Amino acid sequence: MAVKKKVRWQDYFPNCFKPEGPKPDPKKSVLKQQASFQRISLSDLSSSTVLSEDLSASLVGSNLHVFTLQELKVITQNFSPSNFLGEGGFGPVYKGFVDDKLKAGLKAQPVAVKLLDLDGSQGHREWLTEVIYLGQLRHPNLVKLIGYCCEEEHRLLVYEYMARGSLENQLFRRFSVSLPWPTRMKIAIGAAKGLAFLHEAEKPVIFRDFKASNILLDSDFTAKLSDFGLAKDGPEGDDTHVSTRVMGTQGYAAPEYILTGHLTAASDVYSFGVLLLELLTGRKSLDKTRSQREQNLAEWARPMLKSPRKFGRIIDPRLEGQYSELGVQKAAELAYHCLSHRPKLRPIISEVIKVLEPLKDLEDLQIGTFVFAVSTDSDNSSKEIAKKKELHHHRNRPSEGAKSPLSFTENARQHDHSKGSYSPANYRLKRS
C-alpha cells in the first residue's frame, strides 16, 4: 500500500517560512506533483509556525499571485478609509486596483483586499484554508481568489471585486433598494450552483458557513460564494459524516450539526433553506430585535411554509406584491424540505437547482399590488397593511411591472462605515 507523504506548509508557501533544514528542491516539491493530479486538502499539511523573510516564490501549481504588503498598500492607497468596503470576522476589506504594471500577467481590474485583523479571533489557519480551497477550486459561482500576501505575521487575501457587495447588504441594509423577485431567484440559483460544485466535486467540500454575508454579487447579480475559512472536506469512503467542532453562524446552522457536530452536505442544504427564507421574507435568519418567538427565522416560519395562506402574510413587504405566486409557493415548499430536521429528508443540492431553475422564468408576476409597511416602536417588526389595488394576474405577460435589475445603480450599495471606530492603525500594520 502506498504511504501518503505529508506535505508541509513550507512546501506551499516557501515565502512564509524559514527553511528548517536544507532548502527543498522545488523540482521535487510534493505539492507540484500532487497539484497536477488531485486537490490538496488542509489535512495533507502539517503545521509550522516558522516565518520567513523570503518573499520571492509563488504558490506552486496554481494561478495565484503573491503580493508584498507594500504592493497591497499601494493599490489600496495605504488601506485608506475611502477604499473601505466592509469588515467581517477575518478583518477589514478594501478596494484596490491592479494591472500588469504591478505584476506581469495580471489583468487590469478592481480587487478586494482582505486584511487579517491581528487582534481578531481568526488567524493563519483560516487564511490558509481560504488559500488552499479557493486557490484550487474555480467556478463561476465561487469568488475568484487572485492572490495573497504572507509576510511576517501579516496575512492578506486578494479577490476579484464584486460590484454589488454582499447579499446581506443588498437585502437588509436600511436604505438599499429592494431586490426584485426574479433577481432573488437568480441569486438563489447562483448560490445553489456554487454549493453544487463543492458537493459534487471529486473530493467533495462542505462549505459550512453558507449565509447571506458570504454570498457576493456581481454587477449583474451573479451570486458567488466567498469565505472558505470554515470549509471542510466531506466524508470519504463509507463514512456518512465528518466530525467537527461546531462552527458556523447561529440561525443558519443545521440542528443536528449543532447537537452532534456531525457535518454532512445536508448541513449546507439546511443553511440554503434558511437563505431561501430570507429571500422570501426579507427577514434575517436571526433577529434579536424581534419578539422571542420570531427571532429564529427558520423555527418561526417553517410551520407556515406549507400553507400558502399563512405564508402569504410573511412575504417580504418590500416586494410590493410583485412576485410570481406560483414561484413563491414552490420556493416556500422547497425551503420547507431543506429545513427538515431529518437531514436525510432534505433534497440534495442538485435537486434544489432543478426546482429553482424554472421559477426564474415564471411570468405570473402580480402587477399593481400596493403594499406599505408601518413600523411600530415596540419592536422592529413591520405590520404590513396590504391594500390590493387592481390586482391582476398577467400570466402570459413579461414581467414589465418588476423593476429591472439594470435600474439599480452602483450607488445603491453604500459602504458600511457604521463600525465607525475604524482606523487602519488598529490593525497593527507595520508601516514601512
Ligand X SMILES: Nc1ncnc2c1ncn2[C@@H]1O[C@H](COP(=O)(O)OP(=O)(O)OP(=O)(O)O)[C@@H](O)[C@H]1O
Answer for which of 71, 87, 126, 287 binds ligand X (CB under 6 A) is 87
Query: Measured from the CB atom, is 4 or 428 closer to ligand X?
Result: 428
Site track for ligand X across 96-115, x = CB under 6 A: ----------------x-x-
The two beta strands, 242-243 and 262-263, are: antiparallel
> Residue 297 and residue 283: Cα distance in Å, rounded?
7
Task: Give 358's DSSP letter.
Answer: G
Backbone angles phi, psi at 113, to 5 degrees: -110, 120
Cβ atoms of 181 and 189 within 8 Å: the answer is no
Cell matching residue 271: 443553511
The least CB distance from residue 374 to Mg ion, in Å, is 33
Residues 18-57 that bind ligand X (CB under 6 A): none
Question: How far apart are alpha carbons 342 and 351 in whole angstroms?
Answer: 17
Q: Residue 330, Cβ neighbours under 10 Å: how many?
A: 16
Looking at beta carbons only, is 88 or 251 nearer to Mg ion?
88
- The single residue among 62, 129, 136, 213 that binds ligand X, judged by CB under 6 A, is 213
Closest by alpha carbon to 212, among 263, 273, 171, 177?
171
- Per-residue interface string for the shown chain with Mg ion, residues 199-218, x marking contact by CB under 5 A: --------------xx----
Per CB under 6 A, contacts with ligand X among 152-211 are 159, 161-162, 165-166, 169
The minimum distance between CB 414 and ligand X, in angstroms, equals: 10
Among 79, 90, 207, 300, binds ligand X (CB under 6 A): 90
Q: How far apart are CA 243 and CA 276, in angstroms?
A: 26
DSSP bridge pairs for 65: 147
Site string for Mg ion, 81-110 (x = CB under 5 A): -------x----------------------
Catalytic residues: 209
Cα distance between residue 236 and residue 238, in whole Å:
6
Return the range that interacts with Mg ion (CB under 5 A); candidates 92-100, 103-111, 220-228, 261-269.
220-228
Choose between 87 and 320: whose C-beta lies nearer to ligand X.
Answer: 87
The identity of residue 83, as a single letter, is N
CB 104 within 8 A of CB 125: no
Nearer to Mg ion among residue 128 and residue 371 (C-beta): 128
Residues in contact with ligand X by CB under 6 A are 85-90, 93, 112, 114, 143, 159, 161-162, 165-166, 169, 213-214, 216, 226-227
